[in-house]
Amino acid sequence: MVDIHLCQPDSTKSCAACCGIYNYVENTKPALLKRFEYRDALFSKVKAGELSLDGYRDIVRHREDGRRIFKTIYSCEFAGFVDGEKKRVGCMLHPMVTGGCDLRVHSFYGREICDGHFCPSYQKLASNEASIVLLCIDDWYLYGSVVTDIDFVKTFFTIVQNSVGEEISPAVVKSAPRLAETLKSYFSLKVAWPFRDTAKPRFGKYYFVGEEYDIDRIDYRRLGARVPAYDPIYLSLSSFFRTKDDLDRAHTKIDTLIKGFCDEYGKARNGHH
Ligand code: SF4
Ligand code: SF4
């Protein structure tokens, strides 16, 4: 369980995944940036008293591409930038953003649900795992993708901790830039994975067909391989391997990062103590 505020942890990044921002069919970073720039300009009219909240909502619904990957999950029109520098995303109706007035009562879920929601990452991530994710990522788009993918984070830490024989220390990671770089390369696979399954809508290991969702399974038998230790990582990365050669290349990528991290950690730990 983490004791860090994962939603708005610091001034360089934040998450709005549960407000449905990744649930748009157009959910690349450039597409979301464009969407939030538009909302930012429109919402400034609400702040200036030139537009009502209902007016804002109507315009967003008519002007934006509202198609969603999983229709059961709502994508809220009030998610957007919550700082002047446009580094953090979150709820534009939150009192910290409006300057005191809690306007979430006007939202689809309502104030109580929005206020009381803490996603499973709060329970499932360990403190050191969450701290290290925070240390290594300074981009809202990547941060929200990673911090909500529990398998992706925990599988990495489980494997490296078993290998180095102790819990990975945020202080050691902080003391060695190459460790943070390796972790950033691993986390960045969430947005740049060459074996991503593009045939169906996916969030990590989940895939969607209409109103239904299921957890994907990679058919390793078809590839003439056993289920590998990195299977949870491949699923989190929404992988599809056409051939055994694809699987081998994926293995090399992950293995190089994991082994590189463990080697470097051993050296950094000795220097740190
Ligand atoms: S998905 Fe989790 S970390 Fe992200 S905003 Fe929602 S509750 Fe916070
Ligand atoms: S109103 Fe609720 S769902 Fe909408 S952006 Fe705010 S917190 Fe997210």
- Ligand 1 site-directed mutation target among 6, 8, 19, most atoms within 8 Å of CB: 6
Ligand nearest to the CA of 9: 1
212/130: higher pLDDT: 130
- Percentage of the residues of the chain whose pLDDT score is greater than 90: 81
What's the one-letter identity of residue 208? Answer: F
Cβ-Cβ contacts under 8 Å for 8 (sequence gap 6 or more) = 14, 15, 82, 88, 90, 96
Nearest residue by C-alpha to atom 3 in ligand 2: 19
Report the DSSP beta bridge partners of residue 207. Answer: 202, 214
Average pLDDT score over residue span 59-68: 95
pLDDT higher than threshold 90 for residue 106? no
Characterise 105 by phi-psi region: left (phi > 0), alpha (psi -120 to 50), beta (else).
alpha
Nearest residue by C-alpha to atom 3 in ligand 1: 7
List Cα–Cα distances, 231 to 22, 139, 189, 217, in angstroms: 23, 26, 15, 9
Residue 41: predicted pLDDT: 96
Q: What DSSP designation does 209 have?
A: E
Nearest residue by C-alpha to atom 8 in ligand 1: 7
Give the whole-angstrom CA distance, residue 89 versus residue 77. 12
Q: Indicate the SS3 state at residue 170.
A: helix
Average pLDDT score over residue span 112-122: 91
pLDDT higher than threshold 80 for residue 269? yes
Residue 148: predicted pLDDT: 96
| pLDDT tens, position by position, 8-45 | 999 999 999 999 999 999 999 999 999 999 999 999 99
144: which 2 tokens? Answer: 């929200």
Burial class (CB in 10 A: 0-12, 13-18, 19+), 222: exposed
Q: Look up the pTM and report it.
A: 0.95
Domain positions in the chain: 17-121, 149-272
What's the one-letter identity of residue 242? Answer: R
Tokens 């953090």 -> residue: 88
Cβ-Cβ contacts under 8 Å for 245 (sequence gap 6 or more) = none
Report the DSSP beta bridge partners of residue 90. Answer: 80
Give the distance from CA 83 to its chain's centroid: 19
Q: Indicate the SS3 state at residue 79.
A: strand
| pLDDT tens, position by position, 173-198 | 999 999 999 999 999 999 999 999 98
How does DSSP assign 20-63, residue by residue? TGGGBSS-SHHHHHHHHHHHHHHHHHHHTTSS-HHHHHHHHHHH
Ligand nearest to the CA of 79: 2
* Distance in Å from the first CA to the final CA of the chain: 27
**Residue 107 in contact with ligand 2 by CB distance below 6 A:** yes
Cβ-Cβ contacts under 8 Å for 104 (sequence gap 6 or more) = 78, 91, 93, 94, 110, 111, 114, 115
pLDDT higher than threshold 90 for residue 7? yes
Average pLDDT score over residue span 115-131: 94
Ligand nearest to the CA of 7: 1
